[in-house]
Amino acid sequence: MGQGKQFYVEGFYRGEFKNGKRHGKGWWETHDGKWKYLPVDTPQGNWEGDKMHGIGIIEDDKFIHENIIFKKGQGQMPFTVMGPPVRFGSVVVAMV
């Protein structure tokens, strides 16, 4: 595994690579800085096999979304329109 930086049309990535792919901890940001995908402060990475994977933070030009879960590039948590999810026992109910 190594460290480096890659540039794309939409933005850039800096972080860990494995076999030439984004893998481990990494930071993605659009060139205008309006959208970022950042790792959380844990030993686990937020990229696997060139896809967002694990727990990360998404920052856009209006909000910071913490502890967002991705699995092989797919978000596992819906964004809510109003307010945080409300917990009832072990069940999470989204406020809409």
Whole-number average pLDDT of the chain? 84
- Helix (H) or strand (E) holding 29, with range, is strand 21-30
Q: Which two tokens stand for residue 57?
A: 């933070």
CA distances from 78 to 15, 18, 25, 69 (A): 26, 29, 23, 10
For residue range 54-91, list pLDDT tens digits in order: 999 999 888 898 888 999 988 887 655 555 555 544 44
pLDDT of residue 96: 41
Q: Where are the domains of the chain?
A: 2-93
